[in-house]
Structure 1
Amino acid sequence: MTNIVRCKANFKFSSKTAANLSYKIYGESHFEEPTILLLHGLLGSKKHWDSIGKTILNVTKRHVVSVDLRNHGDSPHTNSHKYEDLAEDILKLLDKLSINRVSFVGHSMGGRAAMAVSLLAPEKVAGLLVLDISPISNSKQLTDYLPNVLEAMRKVNFKKEIKVNAAKQKAKKELENIIKEDNLMRAVLSNVKMKPDRTIGWACNVDILIKHFKYIASFPENMKRKRYYGPTLFIGGQLSEYLP
């Protein structure tokens, strides 16, 4: 880990384009800073952090917030999904919750979103814990496999389904030739939900995730000259292809 004086940023988020993110607070509503913000990966949601969020709260005695990133979970579907967008959304949420400084725990896409915030508004970020991703690395699973998964998800037709469990079984049957990993299948099926209009569909915005996948799979070029000098730790499994 490194700990060097962080610089100030002139970045201002646009409240007009930033999404109002759905979130869950672990612990009391009064924040002691720095708050810990948990950011999920592609096809994930805030509920995937429930067990870990409670553990972090109990161990650190700091307040913990898990977030649904745009186009995921209960957060709004938008027509864009770039890391600059995700960073604006997060900064808007920090303002909404009156959080002056935050420590990030971000997995995969959420890790890159956390890095984007740290580069655009470093004075807001007390530290980064990034899981299984970096600004410079990719793997065939990210560049080749996951786009195929998303395309297969788009082809699932839920129109005749009236119950979520039955819809999940239908989706599983149609996707099991593409998705071989149990963990990924569980993450995908967790996106099957009953919508406000009582129809069943994907919680994530599959069309936009496909359309903007090139932005998800690469770190923004315009951020590569920026620097964050605060405490940063990258963690990955021994067999992970996501860290160089």
Structure 2
Amino acid sequence: MDVYTRILQFSRLVKKSPVNVGSRTAVNLSYTIVTRPDNDPPDEKPPLIICHGLLGTKKNWTYLAKTIHAVTKRIVVRIDLRNHGLSPQTKSHKYEELAEDVLQLMTKLEIDNASLIGHNMGGRTAMSVALMKPSAVASLIVLEMSPASTSAEFTTLFPRIMEAMTAVKLKEKRKVHKARKEVKEQLKNAITNEVIMANVLTNVNVKQDGTIGWTCNLETLMRHFKYISSFPFSLDKGKKYFGPTLFIGGQLSEYIPADDLPRIRELFPKAVVKFVPGAGHFVHRDEPKAVLELVIGFLNDHSE
């Protein structure tokens, strides 16, 4: 039985109850598998797992995931990280925990070895998985995030956005698109970047209680932002990931400063750093073609 078939069969059995992993509690993440036509041959390349950024969801990566799958033929799994999208909400949000969530999902789907790609918070999650369990990571791609420092924009912009989100007054709606329109109107002065606005609006959806509202856990994300905005100290002490690693930054962004490159290569000795001309922090949205070329080329070069 090929990897793809095993994953599809197991995905029907996934439950949402927490499962203990080590000394912490991992949660069962919501995920979507990019399917392939039935006539495609089985592909045993390491699957690609995509981790979105702060206040994003797996839906942000729909187009890119489908394109990567179509070109590389490998399985692509988009996930909602904890406290985001359709994944469970918890009272804690630390990178070690996010990494354990991903590792648990890999175990459930019987994925022994996967390539990981993550943007922003998702990039640090992917880095954490690679440092915590290098054998589980075939290759690593990090978009717009460093393990050595945190952009001043990140530490100031995202708290302001979340504060504005908590102030939204949403009347009872029966249609998600109408609720998003109302939220957008209330946030237009606080969020002027169209890409950030689009990301934030994906969090307006049907909640587990059937009402429409924020599906991200703003309370925990705001309370634990100090952990989100810094790389975990426990993973910055003597751990290394020696697998193929690609860092992708936007040329107009300051999230991967030149001063961080020595530390990046200490933790990830095989790291290659590329900057996309004309792109900002949301590099994969600003210049999707350029990012796809880098990602697909990297995956094809490291397909084993």
In structure 1, the residue matched to 2:255 is: 242
Does structure 1 conserve the Cα–Cα contact (< 8 Å) formed by 2:59 and 2:202? no
Counterpart secondary structure, 1:53: helix
Match of 1:66 among 69, 74, 78: 78
Aligned equivalents of 2:225, 2:68: Cα separation in 1: 31
Match of 2:158 among 146, 153, 173: 146
Per-residue CA deviation, residues 215-240 of structure 1 (Å, 9 max, x unaligned), is 11100011111111111110011011
Which of the pair is proportionally richer in helix? Answer: 2
In structure 2, the residue matched to 1:113 is: 125
TM-score normalized with structure 1 length: 0.90
Structure 2 letter corresponding to 1:199: T
In structure 2, the residue matched to 1:27 is: 35
Aligned equivalents of 2:87, 2:200: Cα separation in 1: 17
Structure 2 letter corresponding to 1:148: R
In structure 1, the residue matched to 2:214 is: 202
Counterpart secondary structure, 2:86: coil
Structure 1 stretches of 5 or more lacking a match?
1-11
Q: Mark the CA change 1:124 to 1:242 in structure 2 (over 3 Å): closer, same or farther.
A: same
Counterpart secondary structure, 1:89: helix
Counterpart secondary structure, 1:17: strand
Structure 2 letter corresponding to 1:26: V
Aligned equivalents of 1:217, 1:16: Cα separation in 2: 21
Match of 1:227 among 240, 243, 258: 240
> Quick one: higher RCO (CA 8 Å, sep 6+), 1 or 2?
1
In structure 2, the residue matched to 1:17 is: 25
Aligned equivalents of 2:171, 2:147: Cα separation in 1: 39
Identity of aligned residues (%): 53
TM-score normalized with structure 2 length: 0.73
Per-residue CA deviation, residues 25-73 of structure 1 (Å, 9 max, x unaligned), is 1135976241111111011111111111111111112111111100111
Q: Mark the CA change 1:31 to 1:45 in structure 2 (over 3 Å): closer, same or farther.
A: farther
Does structure 1 conserve the Cα–Cα contact (< 8 Å) formed by 2:126 and 2:140? yes
Aligned equivalents of 1:35, 1:157: Cα separation in 2: 41
Does structure 1 conserve the Cα–Cα contact (< 8 Å) formed by 2:93 and 2:227? yes
In structure 2, the residue matched to 1:158 is: 170
Aligned equivalents of 1:103, 1:208: Cα separation in 2: 28
Aligned equivalents of 2:24, 2:127: Cα separation in 1: 22
Aligned equivalents of 2:148, 2:186: Cα separation in 1: 34
Does structure 2 conserve the Cα–Cα contact (< 8 Å) formed by 1:33 and 1:99? no
Aligned equivalents of 2:71, 2:23: Cα separation in 1: 34
Superposition deviation, residue 159 in structure 1: 4.5
Structure 1 letter corresponding to 2:48: I
Runs of 4 or more, structure 1, over 4 Å off, are: 28-31
Counterpart secondary structure, 2:26: coil
Aligned equivalents of 1:154, 1:25: Cα separation in 2: 32
Per-residue CA deviation, residues 137-178 of structure 1 (Å, 9 max, x unaligned), is 222221011101001101112244443233222211221111
Match of 1:90 among 102, 109, 112: 102
